Amino acid sequence: MTSSLSITTSALPAGQVGKRYGLTLRTAGGRFPYKWVITSGSLPAGLKLSTSGRISGIPTLSGSSSVTVQVTDGKGATASRGYTLVVSGKILYQRGGRLDKLVVMNADGTGQKLLTPATASDEHAAWSPDGSKIAFTSSKALGNKGIFVMTASGRKRVNLSKPVDQYDQFPAWSPDGSKIAFGRQEFEGGVGTTYAIWSMNADGSGQTMLATADSGASTGVFAGGPRWSPDGSKIAFTRGGEVFVMNADGTGLTNLTNASGRQEGPVWSPDGSKIAFTSSHGSWLNDEIYVMNADGSGQTRLTNDSLRDTDYVWSPDGSKLLFTKGSFVCSGPGCPPNDIEIYVMNADGSGQTRLTDNDYSDSQPNWSADGSKIVFVSGPNLTSEIYVMNADGSAKTALTKNKSQRNKYPEWSP
């Protein structure tokens, strides 16, 4: 007598972007042959399920995927089971020194690879939406700063913006990966004269100025780094101490904040309905975090204290905000350690919870794609390491141990 058919594989082990994955699903009972199919959901990008029950491939994107599989045996009996498969992304960071370099590593700190040579200062790195490329700012452009792009493995480096007497910086990919917005500062006689937001196609063609500091703001005030809305239709940026938004083609320029003091650093919520930003009505040492609707209405203060609140980033589901809180004095030689810690709060400002607590500065937090992990920077003023912790602040682990260098700006791959 044949026992009833069941799937015995209880869970799927986590995967890693760029690392080969392989697992054969197991059954009990039933009669050979067995045939497997996916009945709902999907496996992470880069993985597939064979009819023999083998899950294999190389994951290309991080995140959490839900999938239901079904097996049919030789007598037509079926069994189904649902799974969640989490793929951890790679982490890109900037290694300081005489010339900053870009380094990528696995989510556990292994496999560290230098992506850019020590012949120029490379910074402001940004993953493409599909994780296959990295845009960054490099001083290799004959003394200027240009926007470069390379593959995720550091190959095929291309100067896209080709600056002449310019500093091009803060590259930001459009959500569909077809365009890159960036900030451009032009020079004349060694003095910065024009500040603007530009856009270009992902291959460097079609460079177009979208907004300057001469329209609607004081001349000479830097326009800041651009931020695309999640649907790619708009770009938010800082100019003249205010938060502006415009259509992706530069039309419809609108001042969203119109407030006294200094407002800056717009960050879109994942669904595009809200924008978080900081506001300071006095010293920049007392920035507070605000949130508003995408049209500038409903401005609401989320933090209220005598410290500087910054480094805010939305959780992938938009329900929470990571941020840093602390006293920032200075960062040069001879400065005392800055006491900065990482906090998390609900999107409405409630439930503020401290995640780190030590004598060093903890800053630049960033969520993993599935929201389960947080990567951040920790260390004294002149040296720092990259750490990772669980979303609740537990299991803090150092990923880098360079000691004499300043590692900074960690970014999870998509």
CA distance 53 to 56: 10
Q: Where are the beta strands (DSSP E) in 152-272?
A: 158-159, 166-173, 179-188, 191-201, 208-212, 227-228, 234-239, 242-247, 254-255, 262-268
As averages over each run of 10 residues, the pLDDT of the chain (414 residues) reads 89 94 97 97 97 97 95 97 96 92 95 90 96 93 83 95 88 98 80 82 97 55 81 95 95 94 94 96 78 98 92 98 84 63 98 93 95 94 90 97 88 95
CA distance 237 to 255: 10
CATH for 90-412, among 2.40.110.10, 2.120.10.30, 1.10.260.40, 3.40.250.10? 2.120.10.30
Class of the CATH domain delimited by 6-87? mainly beta
C-alpha 391: how far from chain center: 16
Given this model, what pLDDT does residue 80 score?
98
C-alpha 23: how far from chain center: 30
Given this model, what pLDDT does residue 219 score?
40
Cβ-contact 397, 388 below 8 angstroms: yes
Given this model, what pLDDT does residue 67 score?
98
Cβ-contact 146, 168 below 8 angstroms: yes
H or E segment to which residue 88 belongs: strand 78-88
Segments making up each domain of the chain, as ranges:
6-87, 90-412
Domains 6-87 and 90-412 share a fold: no
pTM for the structure as a whole = 0.90
